[in-house]
Amino acid sequence: MNPSALIADDEPLLAEYLKAQLANLWPELQIVAIARNGLEAIAALHEHEPDIAFLDIGMPGLSGLEVARSAHGCHCVFITAFDQYAVEAFDRDAIDYLLKPYSEERLQRAISKLQDKLASQQPANNGALLESLRLALGGIGPRNTPQRLSWIRAGQGNEVKLIAINDVCYFHSADKYTTVVTREGEYLIRTPLKELLEQLDAEQFWQVHRATLVNVRDIAEARRDFTGRVTLTLKSRPEPLVVSRAYVHLFKQI
């Protein structure tokens, strides 16, 4: 009998992308349901009793971690936007994780691990990883722990693109949209700068203007003119960025 799986992710495009990848890499795997939130995931677990569940940690309502507590006898693979250094602390033999945006090679490794477990008829043991996750987060449950972005979904025309946070040169807010600027181009998101600040690494992204967040790693030069105004030159973009007076103190050593 072919193994079965549930996919739970509140991002429909990512759920369909994972489904397509699994169809290519593991054609024998039967996807019995795609859930859009934690409550739908639990209902699907009870209805279909899948062998495997791919669970997004950051779903609304109930997180993937909370859903996993109800996934008795089911091998859970977490899908998460945590930074690599944090996710590595969660890796255990009994369960796996996929860090967004994950590569096909990384998914293949997860599939191989799951196939080995199913072949050896090892029972699922989600509790060990759940506790590891809790401890790695300083003992705080997932609902109270802000998750740092490691990727962002942005639009360009009629297309939607997944952009690694490290590839972002800067964010610029205007009207109802925020522009995500990379070396390759510009993309639009609806997330305001205030929300982005709460999810970005404060050591990597600095606010240099009420409408601009810059990736510090992409700053090539900060120059101050005779009026005291600071202008930034980037490594990956030709346009300069002006630092407003409220944030000039960040560059006081120049």
The residue ranges of every structural domain in the chain are 4-144, 156-251
> Would you state the pLDDT for residue 93?
38
DSSP 26: -
Domain 4-144: give its CATH code.
3.40.50.2300
CB neighbours of residue 236 within 10 Å? 16
Q: Tens digit of pLDDT per residue, the chain (254 long)?
A: 899 999 999 989 999 999 999 999 999 999 999 999 998 999 999 999 999 999 998 887 788 888 888 887 888 888 877 654 344 435 433 467 887 888 899 999 999 989 988 888 655 655 555 555 555 444 444 444 445 778 888 877 767 788 889 999 999 998 788 999 999 999 988 888 988 988 898 889 999 999 999 999 999 999 998 888 999 999 999 999 999 999 998 887 65
> Would you state the pLDDT for residue 129?
55
Domain 156-251: which topology? OB fold (Dihydrolipoamide Acetyltransferase, E2P) (2.40.50)
DSSP readout, 146-176?
Answer: PPPPSEEEEEETTEEEEEEGGGEEEEEEETT
> Would you state the pLDDT for residue 125?
56
Tokens found for residue 158: 């009629």
* In contact, 18 and 39? CB cutoff 8 Å: no
> Would you state the pLDDT for residue 95?
65
Determine the Cα–Cα distance for residues 46 and 29; give it in Å rounded to an integer.
19
Residues ≥6 apart with Cβ < 8 Å to 62:
37, 38, 39, 41, 42
> Would you state the pLDDT for residue 161?
80
On average, the pLDDT of the chain sits at 83
